[in-house]
Chain A
Amino acid sequence: MKYITLSILSAFTIISLGLIGKKEAKYVGVLDENQSVVSVLELLGEQNPNKPNLSIPGATVENGKSIVLEGFSHTVNGSRLRKQSKHFVCTSCHNIKREDPDLAIADPDARLPYVVERNLPFLQGTTFAGIVNRTKFYNGDYYKKYGDLVNKTRNNIREAIQLCAVACSQGRELDDWEIESILAYFWTLEWKMSDLDLSDEDYRTIKAALEMGGQQEKRQAVTLIKSKYLDYSPATFIAPPDNRREGNKLKGEPSRGKQIYELSCLHCHEDGRYSFFVLDNSGYSFRFLDKHFPRYTRYSPYQVIRWGTSPATGKKAYMPHYTKEKMSRQQIEDLRAYVHEMARGGAEQ
């Protein structure tokens, strides 16, 4: 009987300690820079709607990563499934790392030196880093391109993933378990508190709200945190310049144009990576682009950058356009200046 009592007491003690531990793990009292932004917001009473449902068979982070980076996923027994798109993978148009120095501002002029420093491409789509921290998708002018299709995506990341799969990448529909897998992978890319531009005073404010704040202090802390990153990706469509000979009437800087050519144009067009239209560092490519810049044709970079291209008959690959937030007018002139310089003899022949 003594042993039974001791055993019960021991078990009770262990379970109790376990429960105490769990209670403390919920909030440890110290605001850690490595804490995820979502977890802090949850402690402040904010719920995130983008959590994946990993109870669906096949839904795993690994499958999500495979779809995003390679375009296909695997069955439970490891065999490869049909490629999602014949034309693109997600990283054709999206980075998976942070690409903006200030997460609260979508500024392509600030983004370019940031991605150059980190050897990242400079792309049309918004990075997947921090995507689960966003609550609105296919924003701004995207209704002009996709019409009513964007309505159900605007507040629903799952619908946004599906629209991207079918419309943007011209591929097959994703199964539910694939969408949940992608979502699970996206959660590995969520913002940490250290990603936000928070001052010591900001940290003290948030910490105080967590430790002893009432509803008002918590709301203020939530507002403070959310002011440090964009929870949507703005999209403003703009047209090519009316007079393509004169362009945007800005003086271009060839060194920045070189960066754009290499990190944007060649990302897809070199060796026909994602496009049948091949560009390289030969004089032929530069002379071709230089010749077409001032023209009113589908080969004019002014037109292609701002309007993209349409799928050609028999093949559904196309080029997505750059919004104002993804490439500035100044950057297009920088690109033109570089192309012009190389076309006049600077090219590596």
Chain B
Amino acid sequence: MLGALQAQEYTSRTFKDRRVINTNSVETLAKKKLDIRITHRFGDIAGAAGGFQTFFGFENAADVLIGAEYGATDNFDIGIYRSKGAGSTADGKTGLRQLVNASAKYKLLRQRNDGGMPVSLALYGLLSTSTAKKTNNQSSISSFPDFTDRMAMTFQVIIARKFSDALSIQLTPSYTHRNLVTHDDENGVLSIGAAGRLQLTKVIGILADVTLPVSGQRTSPKGYHPSVGIGFDIDTGGHVFQINLTNSKGIVETDYIPYTTSDWSAGQFRIGFTISRLFNL
């Protein structure tokens, strides 16, 4: 019997969407719901590649992602996406391009209102496979000696706490592995992410996230920068619209975690947005 309401046992909607800006949120898609998503990152707003020449980046598309996620259960969702791929190494060599991304997220723990469980915890996995044409340039990662060289993957543990209806904070330790890298690069990259949501009204919230690679090779002096995003999400019921600013060009973890070389202080940040539409299946 779907009777009158009882006191809620678990905290809900720590984040309104399953993405903060660049990083995943702890949320999973509800059972039998399909989410069609389009995410876009424009070109640099300022700096050498930005300004009026590119109408502040609007005339360039750094990365575009289109795909769908499906809630297999209330705590487990799967997704399939196509993304252009945008990252590059600090010396200008391109990362993986024309990616087909398969994802899965499982919510292992749910924060309880009675304090019995102080956090929510989700596990996330992403497998990206490049469908780019194989090249003969042996120094390029698109040389793809083996099929598995087209692949990169990310594993994340997402730990989040909703402190109040207004404030949620999240930490995300991650490991990203690329099967093929340039000769002076590293295959495995550990990183730590942090994200937060500050809800302003029922409809609008402020979001921010940062992902910091924990690697001596990925420091600012060597041309790499933490991925930092700030933005808004606008929830009109069944339709979440996110608009943000971020220095990352790539959208998926296998792209922006190892390959963010854009620097906020040099004007190398861009407008991005996501349109998400939920359907009942």
Contact = CB atoms under 8 A, between A and B. Distances in A.
Interface of A: 69, 86-87, 89, 91-92, 96-97, 115-116, 119-121, 262-263, 266-267, 270-272, 275-278, 280, 282-285, 287-288, 312, 314-315, 317, 349
B164 A349 contact: yes
A84 to B, nearest CB: 12
Contact of B1 (A69, A263, A277, A349): A69
Given A116-B4, A280-B12, A315-B238, 5 more contacts: A86-B32, A91-B1, A262-B5, A271-B13, A315-B278
Interface stretch (B47-55, B79-87, B147-155, B197-205): B197-205
Interface residues of B, number: 26
B3 A121 contact: yes
A91 B12 CA distance: 23
Contact of A275 (B165, B166, B202, B237): B237
Contacts of B165: 280, 282-284, 349
B280 interface: yes
Contacts of B199: 284
17 contacts: A86-B280, A89-B2, A115-B4, A116-B4, A121-B2, A267-B4, A270-B5, A271-B13, A272-B30, A278-B237, A282-B165, A282-B202, A284-B201, A288-B201, A312-B238, A315-B238, A315-B280
A86 B8 CA distance: 24
A271 B202 contact: no
Contacts of B203: 288
A24 to B, nearest CB: 38
Nearest to B201: A284
Contact of B278 (A115, A121, A276, A282): A276
A87 B201 CA distance: 27
Contacts of B277: 314
B230 to A, nearest CB: 20
A277 B201 contact: no
Interface of B: 1-5, 8, 12-13, 30, 32, 164-166, 199, 201-203, 235, 237-239, 277-281
A4 to B, nearest CB: 59
Contacts of A120: 3-4
Given A283-B165, A349-B164, A91 B280 contact: no
Contact of B238 (A97, A115, A276, A280): A276
A258 to B, nearest CB: 12
3 closest Cβ pairs, A-B complex: A276-B238, A277-B237, A282-B165
B2 A91 contact: yes
A116 B138 CA distance: 74
A278 B202 CA distance: 9
Contacts of B235: 278
B93 to A, nearest CB: 42
B166 A349 contact: yes
A116 B5 CA distance: 11
A121 B3 CA distance: 6
Q: Which of B201, B238, B239 has the most CB of A within 10 A?
A: B238
Given A86-B32, A278-B13, A315-B279, A285 B237 contact: no
Contacts of B278: 276, 315
Contacts of B8: 270-271
A26 to B, nearest CB: 35
Contacts of B166: 349
A119 B3 contact: yes
Q: Which of B2, B12, B199, B201 has the most CB of A within 10 A?
A: B2
Contact of B202 (A96, A97, A266, A285): A285
Nearest to B32: A86
A203 to B, nearest CB: 32
A89 B201 CA distance: 31
Contacts of A119: 3-4
A275 B165 CA distance: 20
Contact of A288 (B30, B202, B239): B202
Q: Which of A119, A263, A284, A287 has the most CB of B within 10 A?
A: A284
A304 to B, nearest CB: 12
B12 A271 contact: yes
A23 to B, nearest CB: 40
Contacts of A115: 4
Contacts of A280: 12-13, 165
A317 B279 CA distance: 10
B2 A277 contact: no
A114 to B, nearest CB: 12
A204 B238 CA distance: 59
